[in-house]
Amino acid sequence: MILFVGRLILSRWPTFLLVFLWNLSSGAVRACCGSVLMAELVADRWASLWTRSRIELSAAESYESPESIAVGKLWCARVVRKQSVSVHPGAISVAVSMRSVPPGRDARPGDGVRLQILGPLRLWRDGVEMSAGPRRQAYLLSLLLAREGQPISTTELIYLMWRDDVPASALNVIHKYIGVLRRILEPHLPTRDSGSYLHRRGSSYMFTAGPQMLDLVTFREQVAAARTALAQQRYEAAFATYVEALGLWHGSAGNGLSYASTAEPIFTALDAEFYDVCTTAAELAISLARPEQVLPALQLAAWMEPLHEPVQASLITALAAAGRQAEALSVFSAVRARLAEDLGVDPGPALRTAHQRVLTQQSLSGTESDANSDGGHAQARAVGSLVGRARELTVLQQSLKAALSGGTAIGIVEGEPGVGKTRLLEEITGEAGRRGALTAWGRCLDGDGAPSMWPWAQAIGTILDGLPSPAREQWLAGELGHLFEPCGDDVLAARVPLDSGFRFRLFERVVAVIGQASSQGPVVLAIDDLQWADDTSLELFGHLAARLPIGTVVLGALRDRAPAPGSELSSLLAAVSRVPGHRRLRLGPLAQDDVAELVSRETGRDPGAGAARSIYTRTVGNPFFVRELSRLLADAGGLTDAAAAQAGVPATVRDVVLDRMSGLDEATRDLLQIAALIGRDVELGLLVRVAGLDAESCLERLEAVTALGMIESTLENPFLFRFAHDVVRESVTATTPPSRAMRLHLRVSDALDETDSDGESIAERLAHHLWAAGPLADPARTAAALVRAGQRAAGKSAIDTAERQLRLAAHVARTAGLAELELTALSQLAALSQLTAVVGMRPMCGSLSLDLLERAEHLARRLGREAEATGFLCFRWVAHTQAIEPDRSGPLAHQLLP
């Protein structure tokens, strides 16, 4: 520690000497010495410190007089000549006046600056996100942005910022903040220049945005354009513009700012504009049969204002129009309960009407009409809107083309649960319907209570509904009617009698009625979830495939796991594969780029490479898991890398996993819970040791789990098993009671200790399990393991992970009263902070809070390690000096004196 600080001071001795003297000097001396210090920083030999020096100059200039700044310029020139530093000719004026453009050339307004107020306050310059400064300074900027184009008097600003607790220096603070904000927005702005955006109007300030600079201005411009298009009956253009405008919102206006109650109406009014546009766009989306495109904005609005009835009503209606009736009813129930609990009132007319529309299934999708009609209304979802399924969709389109041209085709789609089989069939049947084909669906149900031949009763019922009434009655009066009505009172006569001759005739009637329908136009049959179909339904599928009428396409979808296909289904697939025109597709997981696109479409937000990678890692590209996890993140307002990695498991995903686990015996569920706590990759040897089983028993129980598709063996290593999806593992982990989980974590750590605990792959895992074991683990063992894990992580440049491990180690040691271990962890944390400062990854003390430095100094003195204590004291002084905090660094400088 001391050696590091010593080298740092020696390498920059003029600067640190002046700072040290500055701390010991009187206030009068500091006024002149401040500029001298800044000049020394400008003349520093390290080119990487130029930007930092400029920032420090800008901060110092807020406190110093023009005379002291002039002294600083002269001193800077003298230092440059004395040290023979190679500096750009305009560097001195750049550093002191913050102007980098050539004299006479002004920076263009709006050039490279973007501001966000529709959500958390954010600021970018030239594509790089910048900090808006301290909390009150950022708050001042948000007020000016929210009132863009409107002057706000300093009196009102003071009231909005402090209300009744106004400091004597309030006006000066506002002037100082305005000056700093001007230089953040325009770093090349000459001293005392007001710039292009923050203008003074008498005793008021006003922010004026450049083109495409502020999202609030863009939002209002797009809404105005959409309303104009709507008034001109250009519905498509209006809808597209509304969707684009809604996509600018990322949460409540000024979200994250702790503004006073006096300013709340300003930001609430902005949110109200969002809610109004949401409800208007929802009505238009439903009339155009595209409710999916406004769902992200409606969900965001409903999360922002849970008791806003028009917004909640629009969300319920849009969900139902998108075919998500169960979710729509769930939203209504939640809102009704909250209204009763929070306000003691019943739902209003808008909510009741939306609820009734869901129950009665009233025309929620809007009516379809030709795209060239005068209304220009609804078009169904465009073909190709699927993500990552272009090849599969092309194959099915070829099958559809065969039917449209008088041929026949059969398509079988298989894959794991949630991979998008049904969605693919919906896409192709939707296209078939738009091209004039009659589409009929049959969906198989899970469970023994489902009626036999149920999928065919649905599909043939749809075909019969498309026939003229006399023909439909004639078919129902014959043997085909047994699909829908029992024969007499005998239960055994219901649905399909046992006589095989009758069964054959019934199958032929099905082929005949489909043939009659296809003679009038193409017919597309889709039978979903074939893995749940009864044996008779599978036989009919095979019979129809062998005698397919002209102009007919039959599509089927099935799971290839959870459950695996039974013998009857396997026989059907084998028979169908021999039919001419047969196509069999297996849907695999989405690629990472496709996951990013799906998240963007689902939430209306760009997830960024880091968040997309985290979501892909946790879901392994399963579309169902991707959608549910992205919705969870969007609802929480945190579609970031960190949020994607740390978010919990969506309830919908957890319910699916629990349903799969319900068929396992208790011993197998216990083994699955142990495997889930071990991690995504599970070594068989480790699992055997933790579970206390022999390898054969362990493998036998894993077979049942593998059959459900929850865990799978790896081809590259027969002794390694892997969870199919991280969210599946996390769902299993959530079923483990906390006390049992802690005991299992301790057993895992004991088993890991039997291996090479100092190995590269073991140290961090051991620390994780010991920490998760909580009070059951020896705190000294846990703290030591966390320190080793932090060292390993730092060696791999995983700085954030290393910092977290070392902080946990210090926490565990301090709680247990282990002073030596706590000091070791804090020393390692300080070394990590120094390392990141030297290589320029973070500013000094960027990863170490000053209270921890003070704690480390106290521990070192208590343990009699004066040299280490002095090092920590010096480190604290350097940190306060770099932050230009003379009131804090001064006393520390006095302590460092002999």
β-strands 552-559, 681-683 pairing: unpaired
Reference 725, options 529, 590, 611, 566; nearest CA is 590
Query: What is the model's pTM?
Result: 0.44
Which pLDDT belongs to residue 268? Answer: 86
pLDDT per position as a tens digit, 658-717: 777 877 888 998 999 999 899 888 889 999 999 999 999 999 888 888 877 778 887 667
Query: In the predicted model, is pLDDT for residue 137 greater than 50?
Result: yes
Q: For residue 596, what are the CA distances in angstroms to 591, 612, 726?
A: 9, 5, 17
The first and second tokens of residue 345, run together, are: 């009132």
Judge whether 393 and 423 are in contact, CB under 8 Å. no
Q: What percentage of residues in the chain have a pLDDT greater than 70?
A: 75
Q: Under 8 Å CB-to-CB from 9, ≥6 apart: which residues? A: 16
Residues 391, 585: Cα–Cα separation, whole Å: 10
Neighbour-count burial of 361, counting CB atoms closer than 10 A to its CB (0-12 exposed, 13-18 middle, 19+ buried):
exposed
Q: How confident is the model at residue 524 (pLDDT cuts 50, 70, 90)?
A: very high
Judge whether 648 and 657 are in contact, CB under 8 Å. no
Which pLDDT belongs to residue 796? Answer: 64
Handedness of CA 401, 406, 407, 410 (dihedral sign): positive
Which pLDDT belongs to residue 105? Answer: 32
Residues 629, 650: Cα–Cα separation, whole Å: 6
Judge whether 604 and 297 are in contact, CB under 8 Å. yes
The residue-averaged pLDDT of 258-271 equals 77
Q: How confident is the model at residue 644 (pLDDT cuts 50, 70, 90)?
A: low
The first and second tokens of residue 9, run together, are: 């001071």
Q: How confident is the model at residue 433 (pLDDT cuts 50, 70, 90)?
A: confident
Main-chain phi, psi angles of 254, to 5 degrees: 65, 25
Judge whether 8 and 878 are in contact, CB under 8 Å. yes
Residues 432, 555: Cα–Cα separation, whole Å: 12
Residues 154, 109: Cα–Cα separation, whole Å: 25
Q: What is the mean pLDDT of the chain?
A: 76
Which pLDDT belongs to residue 642? Answer: 63
Q: How confident is the model at residue 88 (pLDDT cuts 50, 70, 90)?
A: very low
The residue-averaged pLDDT of 436-455 equals 78
Higher pLDDT, 787 or 713: 787
Main-chain phi, psi angles of 369, to 5 degrees: -150, 165
Grouping H, G, I as helix, E, B as strand and the rest as coil, residue 205 is strand
Main-chain phi, psi angles of 676, to 5 degrees: -65, -35
Q: How confident is the model at residue 374 (pLDDT cuts 50, 70, 90)?
A: very low
> Is the peptide bond between 265 and the residue preceding it cis, with omega within 30 degrees of 0?
no
DSSP lists the bridge partners of residue 853 as: none
Of 119-123, 475-479, 612-616, 724-728, the range with the lowest mean pLDDT is: 724-728
Query: In the predicted model, is pLDDT for residue 97 greater than 60?
Result: no
C-alpha neighbours within 13 Å on the C-beta side of residue 828: 28
pLDDT per position as a tens digit, 191-212: 777 788 888 888 889 999 988 8
The first and second tokens of residue 888, run together, are: 């804090």
pLDDT per position as a tens digit, 543-554: 999 999 999 999
